[in-house]
Chain A
């Protein structure tokens, strides 16, 4: 299945800004389940140069600077991604305790990088306590994680505007509401508090569902979900916002410890403080786009 992603970010400043440096995570990375066929970054005003590379986690990054006075900035990333059509299923796995601080194989040891607290994701006994009912002794890891995902989906309310990027995970746990980023941080925090390795996935959802399927929550903005290291299997993606295992409707941009490592656009402006921000995300199947054009 081929999807076309359009992600537009527009900044307006209150005054003329002489210099702006940016770093963006907008290019979908290649994974076992997806391949980025095309990617184009359009920036207005045009920067002198766009430099590309990889970040610490292997995600594609682009850097650019606007070095002439400007009053606003618009960044549009247009990507075409080929996704594997089959849905994920819950894999067979061993008892979850065996995955705690597991370093049996080199790959297990490598995944431990994601087993610890990070700037946006604390570990705490409270979080472990919340997770515990899903993780009774001996339960297979994947099954337990799917149960935790389901509980978060049921017990937490999706409400826009009550949380911000900076809302602490423990506040989310207390108030039981938030958006996909909060649910993802929370679920990762729960699993890391048990000693498991889990990472944050930044991505997109198909804007309009295929016929007969319900529209997924969070489809009109960038989306986030969770990936858990399952020894003997690999990384298992879980979307607590939609209580599903991400499949052909989920486009991955990249992964990291938490949102702070992989926010889509980072920027520093020199001069000018007030600014407005508008973001639009559109994900549609490529065939549909052709239909629309004709």
Chain B
């Protein structure tokens, strides 16, 4: 459908289609004038949506939801042990802003950023703002966010605040006020990018016609600034993104940003401090880290000097910063600026520190530690919003207007008891914007977060931002935790916008890099186990499929095959009668608590894949995500529980195969690939060996149906037929699946491949002979190569000698796995504090 190139701006206020039923209240509305006419900068957008028509729009919103699901855009919900992840809630109507409005706002926010930066430097330096009486001593000295060990840190540039975000509300006159300053490690820039990607795909023409300013220049500036912080190694600094880990609310964003910016995603455990320098623990040894972009709160960054109980950080980090061997952004200690109690003092601080009037106004705020403010607050309590005076994690503000008389009295009482702990803010969040709620356009209140990054001696402002809307029309709270939606912010330029991408910044030349010995040990560990769990799940599914097809089709003489296979799958001999194994089989497949069951294995796959979000491709992630949801959402029929299970298992097998194929095709043959593949190979060798052990060893005569099933499970039926036609012999099956190095499904083939990987792992050159894993591998391979498979399958004094060969193979495979872990993954040791004795004890 061709969009209208020039919307009819002269169209009268009569609004149809998209905005027809939209009825904002009295307050300022982003889209509509008080008289119900569309604001000029919305007309083009609305008219293009109307051209699409409601059905098409609805279809595109569904597309958007699918894109969000496919890209795995999520955030974590605290206290939700089962689900944990929630899909990101993107409202497909962006917030439209005119360039001129955004430009003025940007100028104002840059000044505020500079002010906060200077304030931070003063608080951790001479503290003149306190001695000169511009900021109450109590607000600083009683704040847990004021980190005394950060006093006097010398920073590589005289900048403390590299990233700053301001939460903004619209005032009734259409201006902006700052509701809160985010200086710790502001989240959302990555979600903003994702919102943009989704929206520009769903509404490509609209996006183009609206001349939307790009987000990428912000990230280019961020990269330039972070590189510039490196105390040494300026040309090619190693920048890492420090995350608290997958349980953090915005872990998705950490992984996403790390990949987008090209930084290594690390947890505290991946880093170590030696000689007051920070290193990344990699397979290739310790690698120097120059800059840390942190998403861990500053007080959790160093258990030695800061919060003693925290192991999200890196012991000794502060000393490394102190000696200027590493730069941290934001500077450690920056969280104190989030103190809501500072807000009333910013105008005075601005005059004192910058010699200027503060341009970006704050929402009116009173700190109750001042007598005048306290009496104002108590007299006007019911119209105010009450917050902690200090930075708080996750505590909601109290909207006094919503309280009962009793609750109001209680609140007044607690303020009177400890006034210094509270601030009150004017209730200003009234402006509305159109939000798409269940297919209808409705007004919602909102907060917009604007992002700034230090750039030279000023700040660069992102042309866009993250708008969060309230869940209901009445609510004033925007919170991911409470399930409000988010919106992209479109800053509309007057003319066409030239595209820019982060991959080819014009001024930077990318240093060539290959290999990847810098793979963090933890990541190698996770990749190895991802490989193992994927393969283990696949093997179980193949076996289960064979069991189910036989339990449905066969009775009578096929009963023995079914019994043997069922025993191989769930470990206990179930009566051979069809359907007798139905219940244990179902719980093996679908019960998350079944020990070693399929569901548990797939959950492990999913968990590891999440941890490795920045390492595996979007497509690979999507495949595993679908496998997980296919399995967890499957509901067996009540009457015929096994009926559709085969179909499901077929889908899962295709999924696993697709994942393996994709990683084989798209991962460079670096260490990441080697560890993933090694995990798969070790597991496939083990599973095949188990299968042979559970089937062939119990076969004392030629049991064609069983042999056929074994070949089918091991995906080698075709090869067998081609070789031996239809003549099924145990020793021929054993040879093909165990010893034949040309069969990619055989144990021998896996061992050869693993051996190849082991030969390419980085080794300590001081001890060239200490490679127990390779010695073990040589032993297993030799044993299998030397074995006379035909006589092994014959009778021996204590059963067929094949049993011993298989048992030895399993034992030694396990030893190889342990040895690899000890050699390459020995990083997981946790830190703990030494006891202090105290005085007089």
A179 engages B835 (CB within 8 Å): no
**B316 within 8 Å of A by Cβ?**
yes
**A143 within 8 Å of B by Cβ?**
no
Cβ contacts under 8 Å, B834 to chain A: 11, 20, 22, 265-269, 275, 277
Cβ contacts under 8 Å, A290 to chain B: none
Q: Say yes or no: A270-B829 contact (C-beta < 8 A), given A23-B305, A65-B273.
A: yes
> 1/0 contact trace for A253-288 toward B, CB 8 Å?
000000101011111111111010101000000000
A275 engages B840 (CB within 8 Å): no
**A90 within 8 Å of B by Cβ?**
no
Q: How far is the CB of B420 from chain A (nearest CB, A)?
A: 9
**A224 within 8 Å of B by Cβ?**
yes
B839 engages A259 (CB within 8 Å): yes
Cβ contacts under 8 Å, A245 to chain B: none
Q: How far is the CA of A180 from the CA of B837 in the complex (A)?
A: 13
Q: How far is the CA of A65 from the CA of B148 in the complex (A)?
A: 21
Q: How far is the CA of A188 from the CA of B632 in the complex (A)?
A: 59
Q: How far is the CB of B328 from chain A (nearest CB, A)?
A: 17
Cβ contacts under 8 Å, B308 to chain A: 266
Q: How far is the CA of A65 from the CA of B141 in the complex (A)?
A: 30
B835 engages A275 (CB within 8 Å): yes
**A247 within 8 Å of B by Cβ?**
no
B141 engages A271 (CB within 8 Å): no
A221 engages B829 (CB within 8 Å): no
Cβ contacts under 8 Å, B829 to chain A: 18, 270-271
Majority secondary structure, B binding face: loop
**A106 within 8 Å of B by Cβ?**
yes
Cβ contacts under 8 Å, B149 to chain A: 55-56
**A156 within 8 Å of B by Cβ?**
no
**B832 within 8 Å of A by Cβ?**
yes
Closest to B308 in A: A266
Cβ contacts under 8 Å, A109 to chain B: 130-131, 137
Cβ contacts under 8 Å, A161 to chain B: 841
Q: How far is the CA of A266 from the CA of B307 in the complex (A)?
A: 12
B840 engages A65 (CB within 8 Å): no
Cβ contacts under 8 Å, A21 to chain B: 273, 304, 315-316, 319
Residue B840 contacts which of A110, A181, A266 (CB distance < 8 angstroms)? A181
B837 engages A279 (CB within 8 Å): yes
Q: How far is the CA of A11 from the CA of B835 in the complex (A)?
A: 9
**B355 within 8 Å of A by Cβ?**
no
A273 engages B840 (CB within 8 Å): no
Give the interface residue-count category, chain B: 35 or more
Q: How far is the CB of B317 from chain A (nearest CB, A)?
A: 10
Q: How far is the CA of A222 from the CA of B836 in the complex (A)?
A: 12
Cβ contacts under 8 Å, B142 to chain A: 116-118
For chain B, residues 109 to 164, give those with C-beta under 8 angstroms from any C-beta of chain A: 130-131, 137-138, 141-142, 144, 148-149, 151
> 1/0 contact trace for A122-137 toward B, CB 8 Å?
0000000000000000
Majority secondary structure, A binding face: mixed
Cβ contacts under 8 Å, A56 to chain B: 148-149, 151
**B276 within 8 Å of A by Cβ?**
yes
Residue B839 contacts which of A19, A180, A266, A275 (CB distance < 8 angstroms)? A180
B832 engages A272 (CB within 8 Å): yes
Cβ contacts under 8 Å, B495 to chain A: none
A65 engages B833 (CB within 8 Å): no
> 1/0 contact trace for A142-182 toward B, CB 8 Å?
00000000000000000011001100000000000001110
Q: How far is the CB of A277 from chain B (nearest CB, A)?
A: 5
Q: How far is the CA of A112 from the CA of B131 in the complex (A)?
A: 10
Q: How far is the CB of B125 from chain A (nearest CB, A)?
A: 12
Q: Count residues of A near B (Cβ-Cβ below 8 Å).
A: 59
> 1/0 contact trace for B271-301 toward A, CB 8 Å?
0111110000000000000000000000000
**B838 within 8 Å of A by Cβ?**
yes
Cβ contacts under 8 Å, A9 to chain B: 837
Q: How far is the CA of A222 from the CA of B838 in the complex (A)?
A: 8
Q: How far is the CA of A224 from the CA of B839 in the complex (A)?
A: 6
Cβ contacts under 8 Å, B131 to chain A: 106, 109-110
**A60 within 8 Å of B by Cβ?**
no
A165 engages B838 (CB within 8 Å): yes
Q: How far is the CB of B413 from chain A (nearest CB, A)?
A: 13
Residue B833 contacts which of A53, A57, A259, A266 (CB distance < 8 angstroms)? A266
Q: How far is the CB of A274 from chain B (nearest CB, A)?
A: 10
Q: How far is the CA of A180 from the CA of B831 in the complex (A)?
A: 30
B831 engages A269 (CB within 8 Å): yes
**A218 within 8 Å of B by Cβ?**
yes
B833 engages A221 (CB within 8 Å): no
Q: How far is the CA of A57 from the CA of B142 in the complex (A)?
A: 15
Q: How far is the CB of A70 from chain B (nearest CB, A)?
A: 13
Cβ contacts under 8 Å, B305 to chain A: 23, 266
Q: How far is the CA of A259 from the CA of B137 in the complex (A)?
A: 21
A264 engages B836 (CB within 8 Å): yes
Cβ contacts under 8 Å, A272 to chain B: 832
Residue A268 contacts which of B275, B833, B838 (CB distance < 8 angstroms)? B833
**A235 within 8 Å of B by Cβ?**
no
Q: How far is the CB of B122 from chain A (nearest CB, A)?
A: 15
**B190 within 8 Å of A by Cβ?**
no
Residue A180 contacts which of B316, B833, B840 (CB distance < 8 angstroms)? B840
Cβ contacts under 8 Å, A270 to chain B: 272, 315, 829-831
A221 engages B837 (CB within 8 Å): yes
**B72 within 8 Å of A by Cβ?**
no
Q: How far is the CB of B315 from chain A (nearest CB, A)?
A: 4
> 1/0 contact trace for B424-452 toward A, CB 8 Å?
00000000000000000000000000000
B141 engages A179 (CB within 8 Å): no
**B303 within 8 Å of A by Cβ?**
yes
Q: How far is the CA of A273 from the CA of B830 in the complex (A)?
A: 9
A221 engages B841 (CB within 8 Å): yes
Q: Say yes or no: A181-B838 contact (C-beta < 8 A), given A21-B316, A270-B315.
A: yes
For chain A, residues 1 to 42, give those with C-beta under 8 angstroms from any C-beta of chain B: 9, 11, 18-23
Q: How far is the CA of A20 from the CA of B273 in the complex (A)?
A: 10
A268 engages B304 (CB within 8 Å): yes
A116 engages B141 (CB within 8 Å): yes
Q: How far is the CB of A99 from chain B (nearest CB, A)?
A: 15
Closest to A279 in B: B837
Closest to A117 in B: B142
Q: How far is the CA of A265 from the CA of B841 in the complex (A)?
A: 14
Q: How far is the CA of A11 from the CA of B141 in the complex (A)?
A: 34
Q: Say yes or no: A266-B831 contact (C-beta < 8 A), given A21-B316, A56-B148, A179-B841.
A: no
Cβ contacts under 8 Å, A241 to chain B: 840
Cβ contacts under 8 Å, B148 to chain A: 55-57, 261
Closest to B269 in A: A270
Most buried by A among B130, B305, B832, B841: B841
Cβ contacts under 8 Å, A116 to chain B: 138, 141-142
Q: Say yes or no: A266-B151 contact (C-beta < 8 A), given A18-B829, A21-B304, A113-B137.
A: no
A49 engages B839 (CB within 8 Å): no
B839 engages A268 (CB within 8 Å): no
**A213 within 8 Å of B by Cβ?**
no
Cβ contacts under 8 Å, A67 to chain B: 274-275
Closest to B420 in A: A116
**A250 within 8 Å of B by Cβ?**
no
Cβ contacts under 8 Å, B838 to chain A: 164-165, 179, 181, 259, 263
A222 engages B839 (CB within 8 Å): yes
**A48 within 8 Å of B by Cβ?**
yes
For chain B, residues 794 to 841, give those with C-beta under 8 angstroms from any C-beta of chain A: 829-841
For chain B, residues 218 to 272, give those with C-beta under 8 angstroms from any C-beta of chain A: 272
Closest to A202 in B: B839
| 16 sampled A-B residue pairs with Cβ under 8 A | A21-B304, A23-B305, A51-B276, A63-B319, A67-B274, A112-B138, A113-B137, A160-B841, A165-B838, A165-B841, A179-B840, A222-B840, A259-B838, A261-B148, A267-B304, A272-B832
Sorted nearest first, the 6 A-B pairs with minimum C-beta distance are: A267-B834, A271-B829, A180-B840, A56-B148, A179-B840, A224-B839
Inter-chain pairs besides A179-B839, A270-B272, 11 sampled, C-beta below 8 Å: A23-B304, A53-B322, A109-B130, A113-B137, A116-B142, A221-B841, A223-B840, A265-B834, A267-B834, A271-B830, A272-B832
